[in-house]
Amino acid sequence: DGGITQSPKYLFRKEGQNVTLSCEQNLNHDAMYWYRQDPGQGLRLIYYSQIVNDFQKGDIAEGYSVSREKKESFPLTVTSAQKNPTAFYLCASSAGQGNTEAFFGQGTRLTVV
């Protein structure tokens, strides 16, 4: 379904713990993105990557880290430095540098308990 998969769908984390969200795509897309969505809010860019082994900070990168060791994978780590991590996280990919359709994963809902 769209060729981009996020896991898990729901994730619970204790305060002070790091947690990694998975994003995998089989669309052969160069670009991948991570967005955060809070209830009733829009999509805010956390990090993006235009090519393997390279990534850039988005508008709200503090408290998050990413890696892009493989074209297919763009995992997001939510660190203990993120003060308010409870949110819906969406991963997306596109073929080009933001000038072609972005396909979204089904999202991961992270809750801090």
Partner 1 sequence: GENVEQHPSTLSVQEGDSAVIKCTYSDSASNYFPWYKQELGKRPQLIIDIRSNVGEKKDQRIAVTLNKTAKHFSLHITETQPEDSAVYFCAASGQNFVFGPGTRLSVLP
Rule CB under 8 A: which residues touch partner 1?
Answer: 2, 31, 33, 35, 40-45, 48, 50, 56, 58-59, 90, 92, 94, 97-102, 104-107
Nearest distance in Å: CB 5, partner 1:
11
Of 86, 88, 79, 89, nearest to 111 by C-alpha is: 86
Q: Rounded to the nearest 5 degrees, what angle is found at the Cα of 74, between the Cα atoms of 50 and 36?
A: 90
How far, in Å, CA of 83 to CA of 36, rounded?
Answer: 14
Cβ proximity to partner 1, 59 vs 69, nearer residue: 59
Q: How far is the CB of 47 from partner 1 (least distance, A)?
A: 10
Closer of 63 and 104 to partner 1 (Cβ): 104
Closest distance to partner 1 from the beta carbon of 95 (Å): 12
Nearest to 72 by CA among 32, 22, 24: 24
Q: Which is nearer to partner 1, 1 or 15 (CB)?
A: 1
Using the minimum distance from each CB to partner 1, give the nearer residue, 16 or 40.
40
Distance, in Å, from the CA atom of 92 to the CA atom of 12, rounded to the nearest integer, reads 22
Please compute Rg for the chain using Cα positions: 13
Shortest distance in whole angstroms from residue 60 CB to partner 1:
12
What are the structure tokens assigned to 13, written together?
């984390």
